[in-house]
């Protein structure tokens, strides 16, 4: 999707002009794919932008860095504050947020130990990742010929820049074949996830999603969906899925920060049951999406236009919210 410039980008502790947020062509991560990143959304609310589960996203950034042996030179709280500062600087009511930690300029070669670690945070407007029709009409899925990483090859638990070459190959293959998105299988042939989303399948009152062991990234939106679905009375099961489970699903959808919650209407040209079909129960995705994207916000003083108040969700899986909670 095209990028719309915003006024500032946070780089190594300060806000710099968008056009001046530059790195050297010999930046280490540019050559070896050794950076870690997050994708976060801020949503428009009556009380100003609200960042969805910000602290959880930043904690996952640090987990990814830990897996890669990278030491980020900031604390979680410092990057949470930096994210709020960056969103506020854009003046946007809603936006996509991209924190990135990467090995910078000064060293070349596979040894990352002498490398410096740089951090940037950018924000820009972003609409429906899978297209405007994805929410209601759904997306056409293809099982990719590209296999998800094995845990001992490229750790899928780390949101590492280089890992997404695998996803990019699968995504482009699907688009060229006339599909909207790809579903990736683990090396053992079981369902892992999509190129950038977790996947859910509904059958007989149960909602199933693949485990981390299958190669799925531990999704933050996935966790929220699971909690909301349980609140709605559905049994949520984390278990292995075969590709045939997708073909006979009563309902299927994907979720992620970029994709939010989007329907699947077919997999390998096998149609998923349409709403109201005799073999389908009550459609779950619309209920989950409504809960997920309808924040419950306390009535605090409204922020000024020049410095909007950025607040984050303190989502606790042990407490079932009516939507995501946005707290000061």
Claim to verify: residue 109 and residue 200 sit in the same structural domain: no
pTM for the model stands at 0.86
CATH of the domain at 95: 3.30.470.10
Specify the length of the chain in residues. Answer: 328
Q: Is residue 165 part of a domain?
A: yes
Claim to verify: residue 202 and residue 256 sit in the same structural domain: yes
> Among all residues, which ones are annotated catalytic?
159
Domain range enclosing 100: 8-124
Euclidean distance between CA atoms 295 and 298, whole angstroms: 10
- Determine the 3-state secondary structure of 32 from DSSP: helix
CB count in 10 Å sphere of residue 327: 14
Q: What is the pLDDT of residues 122-165, one digit of tens each?
A: 999 987 666 666 666 789 999 999 999 999 999 999 999 999 99
Claim to verify: residue 214 and residue 251 sit in the same structural domain: yes
Claim to verify: residue 144 and residue 92 sit in the same structural domain: no
Question: What tokens appear for 114 in the block?
Answer: 């002498």
Overall domain count for the chain: 2
Claim to verify: residue 147 and residue 267 sit in the same structural domain: yes
Q: Is residue 326 part of a domain?
A: no
Claim to verify: residue 149 and residue 116 sit in the same structural domain: no
pLDDT at residue 312 in the model = 45
Residue for token digits 């995501």?
Answer: 324
Per residue of the chain (328 residues), give pLDDT as tens: 789 999 999 999 999 999 999 999 999 999 999 999 999 999 999 888 999 999 999 999 999 999 999 999 999 999 999 999 999 999 999 999 999 999 999 999 999 999 999 999 999 998 766 666 666 678 999 999 999 999 999 999 999 999 999 999 999 999 999 999 999 999 999 999 999 999 999 988 899 999 999 999 999 999 999 999 898 888 999 999 999 999 999 999 999 988 888 889 999 999 986 555 555 555 666 667 666 666 553 323 333 334 444 444 433 333 323 333 333 2
Claim to verify: residue 90 and residue 208 sit in the same structural domain: no
Q: Which residues of 211-224 are buried (b: 16+ CB within 10 A; e: fewer)?
A: beebbbbebbbbbb
Listed residue (256, 214, 204, 264) closest to 235, CA to CA: 204
CATH of the domain at 243: 3.20.10.10
By the 8 A CB rule, do 198 and 231 touch? no
């Amino acid at each position: 999707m095209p990028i719309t410039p915003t006024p500032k980008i946070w780089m190594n502790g300060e806000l710099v002009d968008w056009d001046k947020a530059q790195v050297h062509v010999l930046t280490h991560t540019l050559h070896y794919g050794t950076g870690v990143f997050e994708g976060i959304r801020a949503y428009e609310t009556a009380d100003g932008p609200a960042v969805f589960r910000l602290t959880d996203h930043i904690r996952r950034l640090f987990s990814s860095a830990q897996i890669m042996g990278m030491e980020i030179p900031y604390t979680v709280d410092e990057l949470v504050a930096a994210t709020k500062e960056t969103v506020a600087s854009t003046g946007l009511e809603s936006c996509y947020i991209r924190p990135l930690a990467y090995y910078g300029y000064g060293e070349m070669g596979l040894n990352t130990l002498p490398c410096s670690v740089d951090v940037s945070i950018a924000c820009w407007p972003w609409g429906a990742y899978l297209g405007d029709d994805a929410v209601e009409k759904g997306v056409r899925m293809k099982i990719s010929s590209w296999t998800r990483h094995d845990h001992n090859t490229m750790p899928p638990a780390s949101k590492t820049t280089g890992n997404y070459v695998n996803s990019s190959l699968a995504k482009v293959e699907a688009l060229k074949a006339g599909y909207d998105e790809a579903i990736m299988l683990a090396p053992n042939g079981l369902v892992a996830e999509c190129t950038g989303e977790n996947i859910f399948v509904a059958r007989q009152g149960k909602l199933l999603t693949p485990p981390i062991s299958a190669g799925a990234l531990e999704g933050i939106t996935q966790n929220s969906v699971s909690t909301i679905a349980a609140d709605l009375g559905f049994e949520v099961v984390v278990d292995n899925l075969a590709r045939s489970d997708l073909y006979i699903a009563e309902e299927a959808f994907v979720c992620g920060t970029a994709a939010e919650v989007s329907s699947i209407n077919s997999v390998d040209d096998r149609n998923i049951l349409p709403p109201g079909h005799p073999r389908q129960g009550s459609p779950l995705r619309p209920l989950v999406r409504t809960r997920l994207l309808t924040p419950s916000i306390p009535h605090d003083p409204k922020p000024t236009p020049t410095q909007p108040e950025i607040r984050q969700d303190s989502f606790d899986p042990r407490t079932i919210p009516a939507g995501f909670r946005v707290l000061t």
